[in-house]
């Protein structure tokens, strides 16, 4: 049974998802000129965050806030805050590719205790709460049971737009790709982590990532029996900007291989 907070999170994600699906259809139907599409998507993104904020802050007015679009706001309760990416996978959305999500996490005393990643195009609601498991709609999630790298598929994000992370990413890939069944770059970190929780991907890593991209996914993977750490040992996977997540059987090999490339 989802908790009261989880019900609020799911409701907010659905509400934002409905608006985004309408906007996505407009992008797909090319009613938006290529020139104006960027602005249109930014507006859709901001409107989704507004809806989520209205819902979450309406239900829990004392919690703090960190949103991709509106930044940080302290709450009366310094121990709790929402961490929100209203549209993760913006580039996919802009290009008419139906692989993007709404991501909402709840942090308590510095730990992510609940997360929702909603993919409205496929009607897949991934959600997890600390101690209560990870779910997709009403189906319980488990990370994959694969224990051979050569059978495993990993997700990642390719640094773009002149990112300083590109050389390290190329080193990572040179080590990981040859020993696995494949590496995918699907363009939504929140869904990459949800898919690790669902056993679709066996693991995921990324450099140059923001807390709101990954916060909800972290609790999904952990509650599905997987491991999540900062790419640099001892650092926070949410705050450090470099994350790795994996099923239990491959975590040691995967993390050691990546860290050796660092
Ligand atoms: C992006 C996506 C992408 C990742 C980028 C993020 P956004 O988030 O999660 O998969 O590789 O690093 O910035 O900008 O679409 O919210």
Contact predicate 132/148, CB 8 Å: no
- Six-digit token string for 253: 């090999």
Q: Quote the ligand 1 centre to 76 CA distance (angstroms).
A: 30
Cβ partners under 8 Å of residue 44, min gap 6 = 19, 20, 23, 24, 87, 93
Q: What's the 162 CA to ligand 1 centre distance in angstroms?
A: 15
% of the chain at pLDDT higher than 70: 99
Characterize the bridge pairing of strands 182-184 and 153-156: parallel
Report whether residue 213 contacts ligand 1, using a CB cutoff of 6 Å.
Answer: yes
Atom of ligand 1 minimally distant from the CA of 89: 15
CA–centroid distance, 64 to ligand 1, in Å, is: 23
The pLDDT tens digits for 141-199 are 999 999 999 999 999 999 988 899 999 999 999 999 999 999 999 999 999 999 999 99
Residue owning tokens 């101690």: 131
- Same-fold call for 4-140 versus 149-261: no
pLDDT digits (tens, 9 = 90+) for 66-91: 999 999 999 999 999 999 999 999 99
Domain 4-140 has CATH 1.20.58.390: no
The pLDDT tens digits for 34-44 are 778 888 889 99
Spans of all domains in the chain: 4-140, 149-261
CATH 1.20.950.20 fits 149-261, yes or no: no
Indicate the length of the chain as a whole number: 262
The CB of 89 under 6 Å from ligand 1? The reply is yes
Q: What does the block give as tokens for 13?
A: 């994600």
| Alpha-carbon gap, residue 41 to 19, rounded angstroms | 12
Per residue in 204-228, pLDDT tens?
Answer: 999 999 999 999 999 999 999 999 9
Q: How far is CA 255 from each of CA 52, 104, 176, 249, 252, rounded to the nearest angstrom?
A: 35, 26, 10, 11, 5
């Amino acid at each position: 049974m989802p908790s009261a907070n989880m019900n609020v999170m799911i409701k907010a994600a659905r509400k934002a998802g409905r608006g985004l699906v309408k906007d996505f259809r407009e992008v797909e139907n090319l009613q938006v000129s290529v020139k104006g599409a960027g602005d249109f998507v930014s507006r859709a993104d901001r409107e989704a965050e507004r809806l989520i904020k209205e819902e979450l802050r309406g239900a829990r007015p004392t919690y703090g806030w960190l949103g991709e679009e509106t930044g940080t706001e302290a709450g009366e309760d310094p121990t709790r805050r929402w961490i929100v990416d209203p549209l993760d996978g913006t580039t996919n959305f802009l290009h008419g590719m139906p692989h993007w999500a709404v991501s909402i996490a709840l942090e308590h005393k510095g730990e992510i205790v609940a997360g929702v990643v909603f993919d409205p195009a496929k009607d897949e609601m991934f959600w997890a709460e600390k101690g209560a498991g990870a779910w997709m709609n009403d189906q319980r999630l488990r990370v994959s049971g694969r224990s051979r790298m050569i059978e495993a598929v990993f997700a990642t994000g390719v640094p773009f737009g002149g990112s300083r992370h590109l050389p390290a990413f190329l080193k990572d890939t040179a080590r990981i790709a040859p020993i696995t069944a494949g590496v995918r770059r699907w363009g939504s970190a929140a869904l990459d982590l949800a898919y690790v929780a669902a056993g679709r991907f066996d693991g995921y890593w990324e450099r140059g990532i923001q807390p709101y991209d990954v916060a909800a996914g972290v609790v999904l993977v952990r509650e599905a029996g997987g491991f999540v750490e900062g790419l640099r040992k001892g650092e926070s996977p949410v705050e450090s900007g470099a994350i790795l997540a994996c099923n239990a059987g491959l975590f040691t090999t995967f993390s050691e291989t990546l860290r050796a490339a660092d």
